[in-house]
Structure 1
Amino acid sequence: MVTRIIIGISVFLLTSIINPVTTSVQAQAQEQLLPDPGVVSYSFRHQFEEDVAGTLDLIKDMGVTNIEFSSLFGKTAQELRAMLDERGLICTSYGVGYDDLVDNTAQVARDAHTLGADYVRIAWIPHESPFSIEDAKRAAEDFNRAGMALKKEGLSFAYHNHGYEFRPYEDGTLFDYLVQHTNPEYVGFEMDLLWVAHPGADPVDLLNKYPNRFILMHLKDLKKGVEGDFSGSAPHEYDVRLGTGQIDFPAVLKAAQDTNIEYFYIEDESDAVVRRVPESIEYLKSLTK
């Protein structure tokens, strides 16, 4: 046994000396817990409203190249794409409203393609509180129909949870109903971590339960001590820097590795976004397998 250990150590040291670059790359690959995250444009909504070009420069200076847009901020899709291209930035997901998804699907698809996005997502189902089974049934039908149309255009549709869907229903929740009554060929889901935790659900359990349905993720943390509800609404101060709230990020990101999630986006709704996004990026870099 001792001989085997000594031989193994010798081989490792010899390999490191012969090819130190390869060994270093392998070590870095083993440590990486998630790909470089993007950001959600909503995080910088106030900055974008003042200066679109300057905000894109700001995001690039943070080392971020991937943006999920939830608004065109007064630009056309063509104008915004040109600004992205000038800076080497990309848009991989395009967020629109429910009515546009349902009533203007073709235009949404054109804009998404112009931006270079692979995904179209919405983050709110219009309803009068409380969210009901009738709301979920209507949304499931609309999602299937719009998702099919987008699929024909080479795009993937995702619904971003917002908390109210986790109201109990039969043996599960209304979120379970949405998952189970939408066609996985046409409808995927973007997990927003805060809006899973706020109504009391467990993101790791959800990822394990529906590994093939989640295709995008919003990285967002919920303030410690907060007890949420099913309203889908919360003060912005409930959104805290990643790693300082209730979310167990190492557990979530490990579970996400066994799902269909392709892109991760930091979303920060605070007024301190310019300071906090770089801090959240550093926190994510500190996480290792």
Structure 2
Amino acid sequence: MKNQRRKFIQSSLLLGVGAAVMPLQFCAAPKKDEAIESTASKLAAFGIQLYSVKEDMAIDPVATIRSLAGFGYKQLEGFDGGKGILWGMQPAEFKALMTELGIEMVASHCNVFENLEAQAQQAAEVGIKYLICPWIGPQKSLDEYRAMAKEFNQIGQKLQSFGLKFAYHNHDYTFVDLEGQLPQDVLMNETDPALVDFELDIYWAHVANVKPSDYLAKYPGRFRLCHVKDAEAGTGDPHQRGVLLGQGEIPYAELIKQSKDLGMEYFIVEQERFPTGTPMEAAEANANYLAGLEY
């Protein structure tokens, strides 16, 4: 009888311990899941290059900018569409629009080889951070790229006096071998990091068969802005491979995480090809993609 009672007590104690432990196990599981979820991040802000909706900007720039803000874009990157980098608006007018909508013009593509000071003055008045050279065209030799790098340094130094930064935006031609080197490497190595930043057009690097993640890692801290656009899988005319974000082969979740760790600050949507729909519909779809993307 005593043995039976002893066994009963031992069994009861074991059951009690099990009952106490089980709820802790079940409570711990959600915490583990929550920890996993907390490692995923989303972009707090992203922008759009206004060239993506150039036709709409030409008709009514204010209405177009209002619509883009409604899609969720918090940043704009401009270009000179024939009315100047402020699209015919005075600096105070443009700045008031940005303030009203809660967005900012972080950069503008422009002709940095002409009227630089006048453009810099306008940019400084509205709080633009970067003036960007969007195109130099394929040069005939590496020496010509070295000369261009020297001029970039001079432009960057001039913009510093206005409180602005200078950057160069690539196309595919700087990632095509010339005299045994990539011209982009020459531009990277021959420019002063204190004077010249770079905007990586991820699409153009990708279609030139350069892995954007590898190139970013090769020059940490040099790329502060990037153009975000996708490319359909395969080969062919690089001008005809553009698709909406998420419909191509570029792994943006991975790239965004890595590039932020390497100094990337601004993620700017650019859409140049529209397989379906209008430019504004593409702008909205791309904004929805980035807003929901976890990295």
TM range (shorter): 0.7 to 0.9
**Which stretches of structure 1, 4 residues or more, deviate above 6 A after TM superposition?**
2-6
How do residues 50-89 of structure 1 correspond to structure 2 at under 5 angstroms? Answer: 50-71=59-80, 72-89=86-103
Aligned partners of 1:43 and 1:273 also within 8 Å: yes
Any conservation in 2 of the 1:131–1:164 contact (CA below 8 Å)? no
Determine which structure has more spread, i.e. the larger CA radius of gyration: 2
Does the 8 A contact of 2:216 with 2:223 survive in 1? yes
Residues 1:249 and 2:252 are matched in the alignment: yes
1:47-82: CA deviation from partner (whole Å, max 9, x where unpaired):
010011111111121122211111233334443323
Displacement of 1:146 after TM fit?
A: 0.8
Matched with 2:291 is: 285
- Provide the rounded CA distance (Å) in 2 between the counterparts of 1:155 and 1:224: 38
Percent of pairs identical after alignment? 28
The reply to whether residue 211 of structure 1 matches residue 223 of structure 2 is no
Residue aligning to 2:235: 226
CA distance in 1 between partners of 2:21 and 2:105 (Å): 51
* Structure 2 unaligned spans of 5+: 1-17, 81-85
Compared CA separation, residues 270 and 74, structure 1 to 2 (3 A): farther
Instruction: After superposing the two structures, state which structure 1 stretch, 257-266 or 81-90, moved more.
Output: 81-90
Distance 2:222 2:25 in 1: 42
Q: CA deviation at 1:4?
A: 9.7
Give the corresponding residue for 2:8: none
Q: Select 2:203's aligned residue among 194, 198, 223.
A: 194
| Contact 2:202/2:226 (<8 A) preserved | yes
Please, what is the CA RMSD of the aligned residues?
Answer: 2.9
1:20 is aligned to none
Q: Secondary structure at the match of 2:197?
A: strand
Letter in 2 for 1:251: E
Question: Deviation digits for residues 150-205 of structure 1, max 9, x if unmatched?
Answer: 12322221111111111214554110010000000000100111111122211111
Compared with structure 1, are the counterparts of its residues 124 and 7 closer, same or farther at alpha carbon in structure 2 (3 Å cutoff)? same
For residue 253 of structure 2, what is the amino acid of its counterpart? Answer: P
TM-score normalised according to structure 1 size: 0.82
Counterpart residue type for residue 119 of structure 1: Y
1:19 alignment counterpart: none
Question: Is residue 211–residue 260 contact of structure 1 (8 Å, CA) maintained in 2?
Answer: yes
* Structure 1, unpaired ranges of 5+: 17-22, 229-233
2:13 counterpart residue number = none
CA contact (8 A) 2:109 2:132 kept: yes
2:163 maps to 1:161 = no
Which residue matches 1:240? 243
Give the Cα–Cα distance (whole angstroms) in 2 for the partners of residues 184 and 213 of structure 1. 7
2:147 aligns with: 138
Q: Matched residue of 1:141: which SS? A: helix
Distance in 2 (CA, whole Å) between partners of 1:5 and 1:152 is 67
80, 103, 113: which is aligned to 1:99? 113
Instruction: Give me the whole-angstrom Cα distance separating, in 2, the residues matched to 1:165 and 1:27.
Output: 40
Q: Which residue of 2 aligns with 1:112?
A: 123
Count of residues in correspondence between the two structures: 269
* Residue 46 (1) aligns with residue 52 (2): no
| Bigger mean CA deviation after superposition, 88-97 or 169-178 | 169-178
TM-score by length of 2: 0.80
**Higher mean Cα deviation, 72-81 or 180-189?**
72-81
Question: Counterpart of 1:189 in 2: which secondary structure?
Answer: strand
